[in-house]
Amino acid sequence: MRQLPEIYSLIAELDHHPAAALEDQDLDFKEWSADTQHSISLMIEMAICMANGGGGTVVFGVNDKAVGRSKAISGVPPEIDVNRLKKAVYDATDPKLTPVFQEISVPEGTGRIIVMQVYSGLPPYTDTSGRGKIRIGKDCQPLTGTLRRRVLVETGETDFTATFVESSENDRLESLISPSAMENLREVARRENAPDDLLRQSDRDLLASIGLIKNGKLLRAGLLLCGTTAAIRETFPGYVWTHLRMTTDTDYSDRADGHEALSLALVRILDRVMANNPITTIPQGLYHFEIRTYPEVALREALVNAFVHTDYRMHGPILLKQFQDRIEISNPGGLSGGITPLNILRHEPVPRNPTLVEALTRLRLVNRSNLGIRRMYQALLIEGKEPPVIFDEGEAVRVIFRASDLSVPFRLFVASEGDKGRILTVEQLLVLQYLLRHSEIDPSDAARITQQTESDAKETLVEMERKLGYVDRAGTGKETCWTMRAEILHKISQPDLSDVGRRIEWTSTKARVLNLLVERARLGHSGLSNKEIRMMTHLTRHQVVRMVQELRNENDRIRLVGHGAGARYVWGEGPQ
């Protein structure tokens, strides 16, 4: 990829050479035609081609065959908006591409040319119809099956952080390593119970043991992890982290930027975030426990994920925005290897930077089994807070933590269950949190919120019913659902939710029971018994009788059929 100073030099060469002679694997020149739509289509094609070929620069507004600036530079019309071009490329590519567009003023033609910088990301890329090209030499060739297979193989084997840092041999190597970063790395790894014999090694031997020095040369992953700031900025010009304390969605009161090694950056960012992370004190007997609004373990896991999954070939910050009601953490590089926000709890990990991840794994700072995401979820859920929200935004990933209120009853319940040897899983916590906000849950809803298959989600519900005693089954067949047991609801509900209304207003409960009676009649199913209504609403027997009587006064089609334990309320004709 070519930077603007080099582009200026190449433009000067047009007086003596055609642009085609200046083109290379990562550089192309294209003329902007009078047919704007045709030119935009060409731009999309070139973005895909360059991304599949490892990234590159395309200069628009230049005839690649003419010699002489006045003949070669026709320019791009002033009415062409670069934001429109960026959106056009984004909308037409799969996975999404977000090139960087730069404008250069020139005296020839329309007075401006446009430079499109395309980062490689994680190919293969195509348009939304599945068509694509790949840059090979100076040409864009169709992305055939053979080439696609090659790209996939290269993607799996090629690791940007696994390449050597230039001039990192012998004595030069020590000058690239930050002593403070190494010391911090050892301290953090020691807290995670990394092997002592590993941590006692010299800096060079330690880095070699975790695969960051090979053949006497330092890998880029090693530089990222414990290099000096100067060396990192030279090798990774696009790497920077930014922390903003936001006052509104667009304004901030405080900002910090850094280019340090990852081991130092994580500490500095966490220190800044925790300084504005409110504490809630929970008195428990003789002790007082302090709970942060945002659990530190969740923040650390999210930050580590952001750093290890960043695409360091792209220019863009690892960005943390701290609002009054939420924290947002984003990093360049979209979700890879088939991972989506809807399967991220279940999908096998697909590291973007395998060498970096492997080194951190040996130091026990990350886990190869995708446990980091589950730790984030668990840290929030055990405190009765909302789980993180994850967005895949094409060439970036964004994680949002909401400033949910601590649920003291829920946190004490989880702790009490833990004392009994019942360590609640993320799936069980998600179900309990769901049932605090909804009167019932069926296997379909459980599968959606836990990211399980429907059959696995049903097994989770059955275990919570039969083994743990948290829920009760209601209904049969396709109408089977589960509701929270009244005694469990009483334990984990906030005080204002544990009275007669509990989770839903009286009128809402009536409307729901009425709708269910109508729906069961439409499907030809029997109505509802007093017991079934109690299980769904957590009302007492007498409350159900009073509620149904109100419904019957308002709807003369509700009938009571049968007697005693077999009596059922139905919608339709029948004896009173």
Residue 519 lies in a domain: yes
Tokens standing for residue 482: 């589960």
Preceding peptide of 124 cis, ω within 30°: yes
Looking at the structure, tell me whether residues 382 and 441 fall in a common domain.
no
CA atoms within a 13 Å half-sphere pointing along the CA-CB vector of 26 = 12
Residue 280 lies in a domain: yes
| pLDDT under 50: residue ranges of the chain | 153-154, 156-157, 497-504, 574-576
Q: Whole-angstrom Cα distance, residue 31 to residue 39?
A: 8
Q: Which domain holds residue 132?
A: 4-157
pLDDT at 145: 75
Residue 71 lies in a domain: yes
Using CA atoms, how far residue 155 sits from 133, 159, 192, in Å, is 16, 8, 31
DSSP track, 92-104: HEES----EEEEE
Question: Mapped to the 3 state alphabet, what secondary structure does 193-253 carry?
Answer: CCCHHHHCCCHHHHHHHCCCEECCEEEHHHHHHHECHHHHHHHCCCCCEEEEEECCCCCEE
pLDDT at 504: 47
Looking at the structure, tell me whether residues 391 and 292 fall in a common domain.
yes
Looking at the structure, tell me whether residues 425 and 486 fall in a common domain.
yes
How many other CB atoms are there within 10 angstroms of residue 142's CB atom?
A: 10
Residue 182 lies in a domain: no
pLDDT at 403: 93
Looking at the structure, tell me whether residues 286 and 338 fall in a common domain.
yes
DSSP track, 260-273: --HHHHHHHHHHHH
3-class state of residue 512 by DSSP? helix
In sign, the C-alpha dihedral spanning 354, 360, 364, 367 is: negative
Looking at the structure, tell me whether residues 523 and 567 fall in a common domain.
yes
Looking at the structure, tell me whether residues 419 and 553 fall in a common domain.
no
Q: DSSP assignment, residue 456?
A: H
Domain boundary among 125, 157, 189: 157
Q: Show Cβ contacts of residue 545 under 8 Å, excluding neighbours closer than 6 positions.
A: 530
DSSP track, 280-297: EEEEETTEEEEEESS-HH
Tokens standing for residue 536: 């769904």
The tally of domains found in the chain comes to 4
Q: Which of 241, 370, 376, 387 is nearest to 316 (CA)?
A: 241
426-448: b (≥16 Cβ within 10 Å) or e: bbbbbbbbbbbeebbbbbebbbe
Looking at the structure, tell me whether residues 386 and 513 fall in a common domain.
no
Q: Whole-angstrom Cα distance, residue 322 to residue 252?
A: 9
Looking at the structure, tell me whether residues 396 and 249 fall in a common domain.
yes
In sign, the C-alpha dihedral spanning 243, 244, 245, 248 is: negative
Residue 207 lies in a domain: no
pLDDT for 146-179, tens place per residue? 666 556 534 544 578 888 897 766 557 889 999 9
Amino acid at 102: Q
Domain boundary among 157, 187, 220: 157
Q: What is the CATH number of the domain that holds 28?
A: 3.30.950.30
Using CA atoms, how far residue 216 sits from 160, 208, 380, in Å, is 18, 8, 44
Looking at the structure, tell me whether residues 420 and 533 fall in a common domain.
no
CA atoms within a 13 Å half-sphere pointing along the CA-CB vector of 138 = 10
Please answer whether residues 294 and 301 qualify as being in contact, where contact means their C-beta atoms are separated by less than 8 angstroms: no
Strand pairing report for 27-30 and 56-60: parallel
How many other CB atoms are there within 10 angstroms of residue 111's CB atom?
A: 15
Looking at the structure, tell me whether residues 467 and 524 fall in a common domain.
no
Tokens standing for residue 7: 């582009």
Residue 163 lies in a domain: no
| Euclidean distance between the first and the last CA atom of the chain, given in angstroms as a whole number | 82
Residue 331 lies in a domain: yes
Looking at the structure, tell me whether residues 11 and 145 fall in a common domain.
yes
pLDDT at 497: 46
Q: What is the CATH number of the domain that holds 425?
A: 1.10.10.10
pLDDT for 420-443, tens place per residue? 999 999 999 999 999 988 878 999
Residue 220 lies in a domain: no
Q: Whole-angstrom Cα distance, residue 319 to residue 398?
A: 9
Domain boundary among 131, 157, 183: 157
Q: Whole-angstrom Cα distance, residue 452 to residue 467?
A: 20
pLDDT at 42: 96
Looking at the structure, tell me whether residues 492 and 524 fall in a common domain.
no
pLDDT at 554: 87
Q: DSSP assignment, residue 110?
A: T
Tokens standing for residue 353: 């930077």
pLDDT at 303: 96
Longest Cα–Cα distance of the chain, Å, equals 101
Angle at 537 between CA 531 and CA 543, to 5 degrees: 70
Residue 28's H or E segment, with its range, is strand 27-30
pLDDT at 377: 95
Tokens standing for residue 325: 């009601």
Rg (CA), the chain: 30
Q: Whole-angstrom Cα distance, residue 376 to residue 345?
A: 10
Please answer whether residues 322 and 244 qualify as being in contact, where contact means their C-beta atoms are separated by less than 8 angstroms: yes
pLDDT at 545: 85
Please answer whether residues 411 and 359 qualify as being in contact, where contact means their C-beta atoms are separated by less than 8 angstroms: no
Please answer whether residues 365 and 189 qualify as being in contact, where contact means their C-beta atoms are separated by less than 8 angstroms: yes
Q: DSSP assignment, residue 26?
A: T
Q: What is the CATH number of the domain that holds 379?
A: 3.30.565.60
Using CA atoms, how far residue 566 sits from 425, 529, 532, 562, in Å, is 38, 8, 12, 6
Q: Whole-angstrom Cα distance, residue 114 to residue 43?
A: 11
* β-bridge partners, 331: 397
